[in-house]
């Protein structure tokens, strides 16, 4: 029976698979790469496109209350002052003065080593799947190394944003293992700064957008005036965003250039925002399961009120069980009327909506479902990876939803030295190619060709064999079950279409 891989090296396995099969490459690899940036190969770009197309189809085309937008990556710089990003879009940064390594303070944990009620020192660890265990192991090693007798208490992890000045002087750097080299946390703005125009002075400063949301807010009035929309309604956007992350990590999970899929769903101030918020959470979870992510791998995390973003009335994250721990897959925030109010005050342009039914003017409130394409792709790969033994050999396959699979069908002539088989296979391939992403392969034994398609998640292989010449049918092999059946072209096309809706 095939099982999802649960070993600690799943991430290493996936990174290797992505490189070998042309899914994801390190950006600028020939120059030793650039941290936090990734390129997508022939199969990866198809998967990303399929994720975006599925989202757009389900949340825009199949709904009457959502329209689309594509705004620029660079906005007027005042946009970011009004939105609060210049003042608030920061992460806490800690430097190691010896190694020059930098860490996010909220991802760098420490704990006192308490032996028989007395503090003997401190340990530190970068956040991982089991930070507490890493700190406990480090404390035990410290005790053995120092030859200290006594009872070691269980560690209590805290992150560096909570450290006092006295503690910072005693906490060892993860890079050197020695205390005294870490700086106190300080704010670091994550926006990429650039210049617009020929001059490079304060008047030309601009920023690459750190999120797609503000492009929606600054176009809100344009869409209300031209789009014939009525509350409640949403504006959807897919686009690139850029964040100068202190510590990009875990492959494409946290990178500096990524792509977002966001909706700003505008509602009346009198609407039950908590009910609508819950509806978006439930619908989002259903969408994830619909594209092949097992709901058992999903959970929810409600942000404590004291840790909410400056704009949020309430935020719930849909979490996914990655190999490196349970992490955010999508954020669904109730932003209130913060953004439109800010842009109205700073721009001097009215953001009010006139409700014909109540004859009232007001600034709408917003529910924001926001997710990253790259993060979803990584979750899909983690959820889809399977290994099993077949006839004494390891079979690796990706159990991808047909909607997301980069290749829908592989067409295979049983042998390549029979012109009539090749001709029939080529004809089938050409007909399928008009409607779907398909692949033609006549090289090697058919079993090996099946394995190559399994590894990239192709749902079906269509093999044209000698019986095909007489019956007009061909062998269809299912990726997950490896079962085979005979079908004609009409029925096969109908079966594919039925699985792609």
In a domain, 387, yes or no: no
Assess whether pLDDT exceeds 80 at residue 4. Answer: no
Give the integer Cα–Cα distance in Å for 171 and 181.
Answer: 9
In a domain, 391, yes or no: no
Residue 87 confidence (pLDDT): 85
Residue 128 confidence (pLDDT): 81
In a domain, 138, yes or no: yes
Instruction: Using the 3D structure, point to which of 188, 223, 253 is the last residue of a domain.
Output: 188
What average pLDDT score do residues 96-123 get? 93
What average pLDDT score do residues 460-489 get? 95
The CATH code of the domain that includes 239 is 3.30.930.10
Count: domains in the chain: 3
Range of the domain at 269: 3-84+193-382
Give the integer Cα–Cα distance in Å for 60 and 103.
Answer: 39
Assess whether pLDDT exceeds 60 at residue 3. Answer: no
In a domain, 401, yes or no: no
Same domain, 278 and 222: yes
Give the integer Cα–Cα distance in Å for 371 and 239.
Answer: 11
Residue 5 confidence (pLDDT): 53
What is the DSSP secondary-structure string of 325-391? Answer: EEEEEEEEEEEETHHHHHHHHHH-----EEETTTTEEEPPEEEEEEEEHHHHHHHHHHHHEEEEEET
Q: Look at the block and give the residue holding tokens 């060892």.
A: 172
Question: In the β-sheet with 474-478, what is the strand arrangement from edge to edge?
Answer: 438-440, 409-413, 460-464, 474-478, 484-487
Same domain, 154 and 266: no
* Tens digits of residue pLDDT in 47-103: 999 999 999 999 999 999 999 999 999 999 999 999 999 988 888 999 999 999 999
In a domain, 396, yes or no: no
* Tens digits of residue pLDDT in 420-454: 999 999 999 999 999 999 999 999 999 999 999 99
pTM equals 0.89
Residue 88 confidence (pLDDT): 84
Tokens of 48: 């990303």
> What sign results for the dihedral spanned by CA atoms 432, 433, 439, 440?
positive
Q: 201: exposed, middle or buried (C-beta count within 10 Å: 0-12, 13-18, 19+)?
A: exposed
């Amino acid at each position: 029976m095939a099982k999802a891989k649960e070993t600690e090296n799943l991430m290493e396995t996936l990174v290797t698979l992505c490189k070998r099969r042309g899914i994801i490459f390190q950006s600028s690899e020939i120059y030793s790469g650039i941290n936090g940036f990734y390129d997508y190969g022939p199969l990866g770009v198809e998967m990303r496109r399929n994720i975006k197309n599925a989202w757009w189809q389900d949340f825009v085309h199949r709904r009457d209350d959502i329209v689309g937008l594509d705004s620029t990556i660079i906005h007027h710089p005042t946009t970011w002052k009004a939105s609060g990003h210049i003042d608030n879009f920061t992460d806490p940064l800690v430097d190691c003065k010896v190694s020059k390594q930098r860490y996010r303070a909220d991802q760098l944990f420490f704990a006192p080593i308490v032996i028989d009620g007395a503090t003997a020192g401190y340990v530190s660890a970068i956040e991982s799947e089991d930070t507490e265990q890493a700190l406990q192991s480090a404390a035990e090693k410290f005790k053995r190394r120092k030859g200290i007798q006594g009872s070691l208490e269980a560690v209590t992890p805290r992150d560096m944003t909570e450290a006092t000045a006295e503690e910072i002087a005693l906490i060892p750097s993860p890079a050197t293992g020695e205390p005294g080299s870490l700086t106190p946390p300080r704010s670091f703005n994550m926006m990429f700064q650039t210049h617009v125009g020929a001059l490079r002075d304060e008047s030309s400063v601009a920023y690459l957008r750190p999120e797609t949301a503000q492009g929606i807010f600054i176009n809100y009035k344009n869409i209300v005036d031209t789009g014939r929309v009525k509350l409640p309604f949403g504006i959807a956007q897919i686009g690139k965003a850029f964040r100068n992350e202190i510590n990009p990590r875990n492959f494409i999970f946290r990178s500096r250039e990524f792509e977002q899929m966001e909706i700003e769903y505008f509602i009346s101030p009198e609407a039950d925002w908590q009910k609508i918020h819950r509806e978006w959470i439930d619908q989002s979870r259903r969408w994830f399961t619909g594209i092949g992510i097992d709901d058992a791998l999903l959970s929810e995390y409600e942000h404590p009120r004291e840790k909410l973003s400056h704009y949020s009335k309430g935020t719930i994250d849909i979490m996914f069980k990655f190999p490196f721990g349970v992490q955010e897959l999508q954020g669904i925030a109730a932003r209130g009327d913060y953004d439109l109010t800010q842009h109205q005050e700073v721009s001097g342009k009215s953001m009010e909506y006139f409700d014909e039914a109540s004859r009232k003017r007001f600034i709408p409130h917003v529910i924001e479902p926001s997710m990253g394409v790259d993060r979803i792709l990584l979750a899909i790969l983690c959820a889809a990876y399977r290994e099993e033994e077949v006839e004494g050999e390891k079979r690796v396959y990706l159990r991808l939803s047909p909607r997301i699979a980069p290749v829908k069908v592989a067409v295979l002539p049983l042998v390549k030295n029979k012109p009539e088989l090749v001709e029939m296979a080529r004809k089938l391939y050409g007909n399928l190619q008009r409607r779907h992403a398909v692949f033609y392969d006549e090289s090697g034994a058919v079993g090996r060709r099946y394995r190559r398609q399994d590894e990239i998640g192709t749902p079906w292989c269509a093999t044209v064999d000698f019986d095909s010449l007489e019956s007009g049918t061909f062998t269809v092999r299912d990726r997950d079950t490896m079962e085979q059946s005979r079908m004609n072209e009409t029925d096969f096309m109908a079966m594919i279409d039925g699985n792609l809706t």
